[in-house]
Structure 1
């Protein structure tokens, strides 16, 4: 497996992973909108953001995650890494790829000097919660969100 920064060519495959957690979505069926293009470009231009992919040797994207590095005064002034959009293609789950992807992300955060890696996960994603706990993540906080859509 290859772990690398996502390129624009990976965008349909990443969006396919995010589109449906339960079934494999063909990246060719994904319509990449202008908002997706802007967001992807902004992630790539921001030194505190990384969109990362896990690919097979022949190039098929089978996993992704976004890492955002957040400066703060806590953790002795060290950054914290926020992990989001973690996905492994449904037909490739159960073989350790998710654990490998998360370990690589944690290593990246550690190499950058982060004092903490954090993530949020939808309360409906019980299997994902068990996965994160197996990796050593603790349920230490309650999260709150405010939807700003009209």
Structure 2
């Protein structure tokens, strides 16, 4: 297997990232319509901008924002994982910046090979580089495997989260 490197996503990575984000039942239950899965031959094809301009606008906004980093795990040119890091200034915790980790995914055929752990450790090192005092994430209550994974990395289920669709 090719060595995995972690880097900022480029525009060319967006279709693979979207396939990763849609590659589970919980994500599909939230989506308005299905996207190609990672085994679909069209998954690697560039998503035409006319299909969903909002996704491209979101990528452009993330890419242009110095407080957001869309990260990919790259194995020999193939995107095998992704996460988004958001750095948030705060008056709490004595003004320390915090990092929120979102949309953590590893391609189905690469799960269980340590890529998720490497990506999370890389992300935590990135937070330390920026001087963050806290890293936080939320995970769907139905993701029991993810809960065990995050606990094994030292995260504590210290807060109850709430969301509302708008």
Shorter-chain TM-score above 0.5:
yes
Aligned counterparts, 1:14-33, within 5 A = 14-21=17-24, 24-26=38-40, 27-28=43-44, 31=47, 33=52
TM-score by length of 1: 0.93
Deviates more, 1:79-88 or 1:29-38: 29-38
On the 8 A contact 1:72/1:80 being kept in 2, the answer is yes
Per-residue displacement from partner, 1:3-44 (whole Å, max 9, x unpaired)? Answer: 100000000000000012267344236745101100000001
TM-score norm. by structure 2 comes to 0.84
Tell me the distance in 2 between the aligned counterparts of 1:81 and 1:70: 6
Equivalent residue number for residue 51 of structure 1: 70
User: Aligned residue for 1:109?
Assistant: 127
**Aligned-CA RMSD value:** 1.5
Unaligned runs of 5+ in 2: 26-36
Q: Tell me if structure 2 keeps the 8 A contact 1:16–1:25.
A: no
Name the SS for the 1:94 alignment partner. Answer: coil
Q: Which runs of 4+ in 1 moved over 6 A?
A: none
